[in-house]
Amino acid sequence: MTPEQSVSLVGGAVNLVVIMVSVLVVPGLVVGLIVSVFQAATQIQEQTLSFLPRFIVTLLTLIFTGHWLLAQVTTLFDELFAKIPGLIG
C-alpha cells in the first residue's frame, strides 16, 4: 500500500464524515440562530427555549436522513473491503 493510496482512503473517509456531520449540525445551527434572534428581540432568556427546538430539529433530521447516512457508510465500507486484497498484495 503506497502513501498515496492511504491518503486517498483517509481523505475519502474524512470527507464523508464532514458531510454527514454537516447534514446533522447545520439545521440545528439555523434553528439555534432563529431562536437566539427571537430571544434577543423578546428578552426571554429561558434555557429550554434554546435547547428544545434544536433537539427536535436534530432528531427530525436524523429520522429523515438516517437511511441516506447509513447507505453512505455502508458504501464506504463495501468499497474499502473490496479494495483490501489489492492493497495488501
Q: How far apart are CA 59 and CA 70, in angstroms?
A: 15
Residue 12: closest CA among 86, 89, 77, 65? 77
Give me the pLDDT at residue 84, please: 85
Q: Tell me which residue range forms the domain holding 49.
A: 27-88
Domain assignment present for residue 34? The answer is yes
Count up the domains in the chain and report the number.
Answer: 1
Q: Is residue 11 part of a domain?
A: no
- What is the rounded distance in angstroms from the CA atom of residue 89 to the CA atom of residue 85? 6
Give domain status of residue 3, yes or no. no
Q: Count the residues in the chain.
A: 89
Asked whether residue 67 is domain-assigned, the answer is yes
The verdict on residue 8 lying in a domain is no
pLDDT tens digits, one per residue of 2-60:
888 889 889 999 999 999 999 999 999 999 999 989 988 988 888 778 889 999 999 99
36 within domain boundaries: yes
4 located within any domain: no
Specify whether the CB–CB gap between 30 and 53 falls below 8 A. no
Nearest by Cα to 16 from 64, 85, 80, 88:
80
Cβ neighbours around 51 below 10 Å, total: 12
Classify residue 50: in a domain, yes or no: yes
pLDDT value at residue 22: 96
pTM for this predicted structure: 0.78
